[in-house]
Structure 1
Amino acid sequence: MPFALLLLGVAVFAQGTSEFMLSGLVPDIARDLGVSVPSAGALTSAFAVGMVAGAPLMAGLARRWSRRGALLGFLGVFLAVHVVGAVTDSFGVLVATRVVGALANAGFLAVALVTAAQMVAPQAKGRATSVLLGGVTLACVAGVPAGALLGQLWGWRAAFWAVALISLPAVVAVAWSVPGGRADSERPALRSELRSLRSPRLRVTLLLGALVNGATFCSFTYLAPLVTRVTGLESGWVPVVLALFGAGSFVGVTVGGRLADRRAGAVPVWGGGVLCLGWCALALGAGSAPVTLGLVLVQGALSFGIGSTLISRALYAAPSAPTLAGAFATAAFNVGAALGPWLGGTAIGAGGGYRSPLWVSAVLVALALTAAGTARALATRRRGRTAGRSLRASRARS
């Protein structure tokens, strides 16, 4: 893998820390700004909404810029809004900074996915994606637990300052590692890229990504209150639990990236079945500390392993849309990231308790499996009809 690709992962690490760190800060933010826990949890949804809207929009705008210029611009905005978020006393302003930060993050990730895919051979897109998304999983392993620890020691604002500081070396890394120059004049026309996104295979992949990622964020957002109020562990265990989830996700992305280039179809199906059962098991066994700690690790691996595989499948499914394929994959996954916390918060607010997001996650994965099975059956039927028509036409000619 090119060294420049590893440096892109540094920037993704900073942004992944920001996206995920609220799972360990939600109770403190709610208490400090005088809002409910579900309302504070909606900050994750606000970030995801910005990612959904920003991915195709920012990727479209970035077509006019050089890769390096686009990446540096998005990263600079991302850094600035975290400074604002760290000093504000208004929940509304904090929500706004999350949306703007998400727009910048979406643009960066969409351009970075395409840049990463172009750095490697055509048959190695899965591994390139996994290296880039390794920055996200390392954020779960180190950045998010560190953010939770900072929140416990010096308040949630310290975590926002830390993200801003991490972003500074990321700016240097991108400026040094990504070639400059003018925008690529050989990119397909925007209208041509949009036409290629009509592929049924791509649409199904995006749907599966939204559902699986929705399940991931539905439970991940509320891990802190689950651990302290259901499992009965002290608040000091929250960073440990988040680190376990992150360690699992790193393993999942690493393994999933290798499988995505060879057995991309089998990973979501078989892994999805185990993932669904895992959310059910965690919901039933969350009162036990060993069960919770073990399954958090497993669910992190499965969630991110399947997710990274689906992203690489989206890139493979739209080879003639080099700019927008990554953008729409980012948008689809963040539809799930927006929907998941909202569904989890709704279940909690309805009196379902802090186990309820786990059950919602299981339902979302089950829906993904159902959608995948239905799409495969329809595709098989279409192929059968096409083969039948070809056979009849051949007989008629003879």
Structure 2
Amino acid sequence: MPVINRIAGFAEDMCAWRQHLHAHPELGFDCHTTAGFVEEQLKGFGISEIHTGIAQSGLVAIINGRGDGPTIGLRADMDALPMTEETGLPYASTVPGRMHACGHDGHTTMLLGAARYLAETRNFAGRVALIFQPAEEEGGGGGVMVDEGIMDRFDIAQVYGIHNAPGVPEGQFFTAPGPLMAAVDTFNINIRGLGGHGATPHDTRDPVVAALAIAQGIQTISSRNHYALDDLVISVTQIHAGSAENIVPETAYLGGTVRTFDPNVQKMVQRRMAQIVQGTGAAYDVTAELEYITCYPATVNDAEKAAFAAQVAREVVGKDNVVDNTNREMGAEDFSYMLQARPGAFLFLGQGEGAGLHQSGYDFNDAVAPVGASFFARLVETAQPVKE
């Protein structure tokens, strides 16, 4: 069963929605204009039950099917990234320093396309909850929506989401049962010594050499404190210190990211990092303080729901275009909070060759929007069929 004909019929409309959203990116929880556009489209589809102001600018819309049944949740993220776009496209970002470099404009469009079809046909039992969330990139908007009670408030029984995947063949789905994407933590290390002249370092307590030693020490957590076959990534991504060649600075800073799947590994990393920071600071006679911030949890699919979603995907794109046991990703997703609250699954949808996610030359492939919308629609109709 290929892309739904009705959805293919309004593919041009979907392209226009997506390109409008692309030109008007918003960040974090401040997605009010985007949410307003989404609300306007939903009302135009005849959807009247729309709940706004969730997680500041998120919204949930309800479509009632035919007869009693459970509620299935479908989620799309709306926020963009603080980047300067370099695509040169006619619909490029009109907001300096902001762009849709992760395809959330496409995710929102796919869910809008499914909403239009489902509102027209209502060929399902129970209800559909359309979840449009802000702040996936930073702030954990999905978690905030869960904390504000959307799962109980709208009686959502299961929940699904899609993310586009550049470099994967166009229209190919991939997912896996169980852990799919990593938990993400961040760390900040502030070091204070005693500055002075670069020609007399013996009169200083140099925070730069301490920072370098701490950065090297942190790398040993993966190589010497951790079982090699368990997934773990620790990356020092920032080192800042100094202002001139002949000055030993007073302070230094390190920052980075940790990616894990096992909470016990996560705790071990935090413990060892604290020991390394404190011990190295003492060894170099400087003050070193660690701020370790636990962020998004691992994205863990329900095995049964992942298998079900993969089967629906096969009906849309064919069995040869669905991988149902892909390798785990070290990237992170705040859809994880929704999967902690309810069983469901997260899938990736290939969008062909092109710039990668979070790159200034990235653009969502409009050709895959009807594929994602058809998947969402078939998922609902298959999960909650109308009782004869």
Q: TM-score range by the shorter chain?
A: under 0.3
User: TM-score when scaled to structure 1?
Assistant: 0.23
**How does the TM-score come out when normalised to structure 2?**
0.23
**Greater fraction strand:** 2
